[in-house]
Every structure is written in C-alpha cells, then in structure tokens.
Amino acid sequence: MIVWINGAFGVGKTTTAGLLVERLPDAKIFDPEYVGYLLTPFITSPTGDFQDLPLWRHLVVETMSGLAREYPHLWIAPMSLINPAYREEILDGIRAVGVEVREVVLTLPEEQLRARIDADQMDAAARQWRHDHVAGALTSFAAVTGAHLVDASQPPEQVADAIAMSIRSVPSR
C-alpha cells in the first residue's frame, strides 16, 4: 500500500512522513521528487517544474507501483500534487495496476502556511516559489474528494498519530 501525503508546499509533508515511519512498522519513505532529480540533468521542463514533464509522471507511476509490488512495505510518498490532472494521472495510474493508494491531504489556513514558509531554512528563491504556489494549492486542495483531510495546525506528532490511526482503522481494499 502507498500512503500519499499531499498538501501545499511547506505544510509539513516531509516531517509527517518521517514521523509516520517511526509509528508504522515496515513503513518506508519514497519521495517522488527524486524522480525529478534523476531527470533534470537530462531534460529541461519549459516551465521549470519537473511535474510538467509527462515522463516524470509516467516514471512516478511506474516507480511507486513497482516499489509496492516488488518490495511490499507500506510506502509513504510525501509529494505535493497541486495540478488536479496530474494528481489524477498519478494516483489513478498506480491504482490501475492494482496497488492500493490512500491519499492524505494536510490542511492549514493560508496565514499559518505562509508563516511556516517564512520560518523554513531555505534560500529566498525557494521561499518565493513556495509563496507563489500557495493560492493554487489552497484552491486545488479545497476541491479534493476521496482523500483523508488532516489538520496540520496541530503539533507534527499529533498529525502523524492521526494519520497512523486512520491507516490502521481502515481495512485494505
């Protein structure tokens, strides 16, 4: 099974993923961003975002479903999929090959999200990029259906506990 942790940039996906691995036996993290890092030396996205590369999306489906089939752990994927078409392409693509995906969306009010972005240790360009994507992320995630929404304004340990409890309590399909 794959637990896809979605949400705006800076909402706490990576922190939550790390805490989930501590709480769920046999859980492992795979960040689909690594697929982007693999491609960017060879292919340049015209938009500057590797998610806009069809090959990135294809390889994420193949990599995540391959990991789930060949190495049957609980896989945690902390990755923002803001574009609804890309989200559908990737999550439905993984499900189409018989791998269960449970999506969790971390939510946070805009002012708290922007404050977290400002507090993160990163360069000014990365901070600005995150800020530039806040409105689109909030709009996109407000329209998400079928995902488990988790309030990320709680302490990170409580966020991870809520997700772990939801994973344990919902039977596998």
For 108-145, the pLDDT digits (tens) are 999 999 999 999 888 999 999 999 999 999 999 999 99
What whole-number distance in Å separates Cα of residue 5 and Cα of residue 147?
A: 10
Question: What's the pLDDT at 25?
Answer: 87
Terminal CA-CA length for the chain: 10
Token pair of 64 as six digits: 């995540």
pTM listed for this prediction: 0.93
Contact 54/45 with Cβ under 8 angstroms? Answer: no
Domain count within the chain: 1
Q: Closest Cα to residue 24, out of 162, 125, 124?
A: 162
Average of pLDDT values for 40-62? 95
96: Cβ contacts below 8 Å, ≥ 6 apart:
none
Average of pLDDT values for 24-47? 94
> Which domain covers residue 154, as residue numbers?
2-169
pLDDT band, residue 173 (cuts 50/70/90): very low
The one-letter amino acid code at 47 reads: T
* Coil/strand/helix, residue 157: helix
Bridge partners of 27? Answer: 74
Phi-psi domain of 10 (left: phi exceeds 0; alpha: psi -120 through 50; beta: other): left
Is the pLDDT score of 148 beyond 50?
A: yes
Is the pLDDT score of 76 beyond 70?
A: yes
* Coil/strand/helix, residue 72: coil
Answer with the residue of higher pLDDT: 75 or 25.
75
What whole-number distance in Å separates Cα of residue 122 and Cα of residue 20?
A: 24
CATH of the domain at 25: 3.40.50.300
